[in-house]
Amino acid sequence: MSELSVKHLLGIKYLNESDIQLIFETADHFKEVINRSIKKVPSLRDITIANIFFENSTRTKLSFELAEKRLSADVLNFSASQSSVKKGETLIDTVNNILSMKVDMVVMRHPNPGAGIFLSKHVKASIVNAGDGAHEHPTQALLDSYSIREKLGDVAGKNVVIVGDILHSRVALSNIFALKLQGANVKVCGPKTLLPKYIESLGVGVETNLRKALDWCDVANMLRIQNERLDISYFPTTREYTQQFGVNKKLLDSLDKEIVIMHPGPINRGVEITSDVADSKQSIILNQVENGVAIRMAVIYLLASKIK
């Protein structure tokens, strides 16, 4: 297969296993490119991409922008907080105004779940979801699986536990879809209040004892406690959460195998993981960020080939 089955990247839910393998093979090529002395290719010289962010971002925004520039696309950056959205302009009007400047692709982060799906039905450009509320964050899940593949050789058959606030996490949902598609065994672990009731219907196991989860896994993906999405108290105190669900070096070293530690960032150091875990040789957190550029180059390149 040499092309994606989709025109937009709205969620991992809409991809198949062949799409993921194609993205990974394309990312392998781009990873080699960005490690050369000349890190740029002319592939998308005729493509214009708008990055529109209605929520804060460091990694995703910079990674998309760099990926687009490495592919020689023309890039527009739009931040809602400095725009006419503040004067009441709607999402569709905002995007249609941007598109009238002959933009081919829109990369969007938005606080509302389904914002990218909504947009894809109302505008002509190809839409890439860079995180929509607590729904999906597809490029994060792709770079996470790609990093597991790079570290452990394969994703199929690996035991992966996702720890923390599963209820509010777009990273968790996209990772579950991506890992299951590739044949990984997946568990979620966290306080019962932060584990959605439907989660087992997605084919994942549930564990509320962190020690047992870590004994089982090859990879632990530690999620951030998203204080900005916690409308009520889901656990007594942050200190108590850390005692039950935080990974420190003593716990990591007490396991009888070397597990891989992942985190999508931003890290709350000392809450979900301690600094000596985040910075340990078992952590691939910065490899995830590095791989994000190659994965996003692959996604943009493959989607652009469908609009040419």
Binding-site ranges for ligand CP (CB under 6 A) = 57-60, 131, 140, 264-266
Give whichever of 191 and 292 is closer to ligand CP, judged by the CB atom.
292
Give whichever of 140 and 274 is closer to ligand CP, judged by the CB atom.
140
Give whichever of 158 and 170 is closer to ligand CP, judged by the CB atom.
170
Q: Is 81 exposed, middle or buried (0-12, 13-18, 19+ CB in 10 A)?
A: exposed
Give whichever of 66 and 99 is closer to ligand CP, judged by the CB atom.
66
Q: Is 281 exposed, middle or buried (0-12, 13-18, 19+ CB in 10 A)?
A: exposed
Q: Is 272 exposed, middle or buried (0-12, 13-18, 19+ CB in 10 A)?
A: buried
Is there a binding annotation on residue 60?
yes
Is there a binding annotation on residue 45?
no
Residue 274 CB partners (closer than 8 Å, separation 6+): 246, 247, 248, 249
Give whichever of 51 and 140 is closer to ligand CP, judged by the CB atom.
140
Residue 181 CA, distance from chain mean position = 16
Is there a binding annotation on residue 265?
yes
Residue 53 near residue 98 (C-beta atoms within 8 A)? no
Closest distance to ligand CP from the beta carbon of 305 (Å):
25
Give whichever of 114 and 265 is closer to ligand CP, judged by the CB atom.
265
Is there a binding annotation on residue 264?
no
Task: Specify the DSSP class assigned to residue 223.
Answer: P
Closest distance to ligand CP from the beta carbon of 18 (Å):
26
Is there a binding annotation on residue 59?
yes
Closest distance to ligand CP from the beta carbon of 131 (Å):
6
SS3 content of the chain, % helix, strand, coil (to 5): 45, 15, 40
Closest distance to ligand CP from the beta carbon of 252 (Å):
22
- Burial readout 6-30 (b: 16 or more C-beta within 10 A, e: otherwise): bebbbbbebbeeebbebbbebbeeb
232: helix, strand or coil: coil
> How many Å apart are CA 85 and CA 81, to the nearest integer?
7
Is there a binding annotation on residue 170?
yes
Q: What is the distance in angstroms between the CA of the first residue and the CA of the last residue of the chain?
A: 18
Q: Is 67 exposed, middle or buried (0-12, 13-18, 19+ CB in 10 A)?
A: buried
Element (H, E) at 69: helix 59-70
Q: How many residues can be counted in the chain? A: 308
| Residue nearest to ligand CP according to CB distances in the complex | 60
Give whichever of 113 and 265 is closer to ligand CP, judged by the CB atom.
265
Is there a binding annotation on residue 168?
no
Closest distance to ligand CP from the beta carbon of 289 (Å):
8
Closest distance to ligand CP from the beta carbon of 87 (Å):
26
Closest distance to ligand CP from the beta carbon of 37 (Å):
28
Q: Token pair 């990591």 is at which residue?
A: 252
Is there a binding annotation on residue 140?
yes
Binding site: what residues are annotated?
59-60, 87, 109, 137, 140, 170, 224, 265-266
Known binding-site positions for carbamoyl phosphate: 59-60, 109, 137, 140, 265-266
